[in-house]
Amino acid sequence: MAIEVGTKLEGKVTGITHFGAFVDLTGGVTGLVHISEIADSYVKDVHEHLKINDMVTVKVINVDKDGKIGLSIRQAVDKPPEQQQQQQQPQQRGPRDRGGRPSKPGGFGRSPSFDDKLSRFLKDSEERISNLKKSTESKRGGRGGRRS
């Protein structure tokens, strides 16, 4: 049976690495499920989701010229139509602050302009240079200069 992109197959997990899992498909063909294709949620450790000899349903997502087969477990799972629509249409999100929270309109939550950022950078830079000069002068013996 030829392995084509988009087909769903059953396979057995034969190896687990830090970047994914190897799955043995029909006919002794092996493919790789990348760690990002194991589950819809964040996967820190593959061992938390899969074990060797687990039987899994996978979807073929790519076949390279050199014979490498890319597989996905999360794409092989049939999702309800509501979830599919949500994934296809990303939510509109307004501006966010650095913590990922929606920023407040007006002065407090506004992002600083380039000029504000530049002046803050120059101020910080001047402070750091003056501190560095003070510390190096004290290590060299101060302002007295060399004695002959």
What CATH number belongs to 8-77?
A: 2.40.50.140
pTM of the entire structure?
0.54
User: What pLDDT is attached to residue 111?
Assistant: 75
Greater pLDDT, 44 or 143: 44
Greater pLDDT, 97 or 128: 128
What residue ranges do the domains of the chain occupy? 8-77
Nearest Cα neighbor of 107 from 122, 116, 120 is: 116
